[in-house]
Structure 1
């Protein structure tokens, strides 16, 4: 069984976690497949402009497969999961994650790799490391505070409470929350809106944001001005196209 499906259309690569019978619980084998896809996508900037990650079936992911762990499911490299999530977060292309249903602990750490996170109203987010006497090693302590703020992150990590899609939107964990029946259309529309922009700009803007994260305002402004990547190879064509549209309107 293929644990991570890939479908490409119109410059959008969609990866789907594919263990619906197990609520897309995360195993070593699933992460190995995900890593292979991510490493391939990193080399395909000419054919893939945006990456979309979602889950099959009832939810995005219920988290790490505790049953598999109890049965001895361990990667040869203990950093497999954490470094795979890091590779996903650092893909040259923007990454959209669509979350419906459960998004718990390891699933949340995976979702936090998103540049843009879309939640369905059915989404349920939680960090349950505390319930199992665990501490995070896949990025929770670093990515969650950067997304929701340090004290909301403490609340989530120390209480193990569950938060709805609407609560996730309100705290900034999700960029937007939509009704379940509009969820698929929303993530598709968002991906198509982004992929219609210059792929050069998508990649350059993402690099800029990553490089200046944590800098002071002055440092960030200096980086932006003095290390700009300038015009993309499609700039002249896009500007000329805009001029032609303006002339026709006039």
Structure 2
């Protein structure tokens, strides 16, 4: 498998690392092909992988879509290649954390938005620069960004092409967490362990529930939860018994 995306598994956690540090992890076709292979494998590994983290090697998450590729004319394996892979990453059964340090611009922001959670370093730099290059989003930003930050904040980001810090991303709801740069690794691992300690069954079921009811009227969403929810997980009895035993 290509080393443009590295995978490391640690006790239920799969870490996917974008690995073009000499190019600031700029997103080219070959990197997306490597990412797709890992995502395809993870889709069927719910028994031993409960959480996925996507991050970048070296100085940043990613500087965005490789402009050199755009300039020379990308040769895609199929139509909507990158958008399909980002959607597939977003649709993984497991929760996905996008762990962002350094640059996260435009196409990289579209990739990060596939995460259920965005974990940011204070020194992270988020931005949408499509308009700077006379481009428009085709990897999901126009839909995912407003759902995170609200339509008018999304318009601000898209129209100004300005850069936002990790703290600004947290304040606007783009990031769920923001930590000092020097605490990034420790705090990311702590968050991962906190999530993994809870029921993987519940994580997968809750993710499906939230995804499938997104945009529904309240009554329809409530009906879906009540009548189509997945109920009790196979680990419920053991978890309650362990709690009861500890309480005694």
TM-score normalised to structure 1 length:
0.97
DSSP-derived class of the 2:118 partner: strand
Q: Deviations over 1:62-116 (max 9, x none)?
A: 0011012223332121311001000000100000110000000000000000101
Q: Which residue of 1 aligns with 2:30?
A: 29
Q: Which residue of 1 aligns with 2:132?
A: 131
Question: How many pairs align?
Answer: 247
DSSP-derived class of the 1:167 partner: helix
- Distance in 1, Cα, partners of 2:246 & 2:112: 39
Q: Which residue of 2 aligns with 1:190?
A: 191
Q: Which residue of 2 aligns with 1:42?
A: 43
* RMSD, aligned α-carbons: 0.9
- Distance in 2, Cα, partners of 1:215 & 1:183: 36
Q: Which residue of 2 aligns with 1:11?
A: 12
Q: Which residue of 2 aligns with 1:104?
A: 105
Q: Does 1:62 align with 2:57?
A: no
DSSP-derived class of the 2:79 partner: coil
Q: Which runs of 5+ in 2 are unaligned?
A: none
Q: Which residue of 2 aligns with 1:233?
A: 234
- Distance in 1, Cα, partners of 2:124 & 2:21: 15
Moved over 6 A (4+): none
- Distance in 1, Cα, partners of 2:158 & 2:76: 25
Q: Does 1:164 align with 2:165?
A: yes
- Distance in 1, Cα, partners of 2:18 & 2:68: 18
CA positional deviation for 1:158: 1.3
Q: Which residue of 2 aligns with 1:145?
A: 146
Q: Does 1:118 align with 2:119?
A: yes
TM-score normalised to structure 2 length:
0.98
Q: Which runs of 5+ in 1 are unaligned?
A: none
Q: Which residue of 2 aligns with 1:178?
A: 179
DSSP-derived class of the 1:103 partner: strand
Q: Deviations over 1:5-63 (max 9, x none)?
A: 00001000000000011000000000000011001100000010000010000000000
Q: Which residue of 1 aligns with 2:96?
A: 95
- Distance in 2, Cα, partners of 1:185 & 1:209: 29
DSSP-derived class of the 2:44 partner: coil
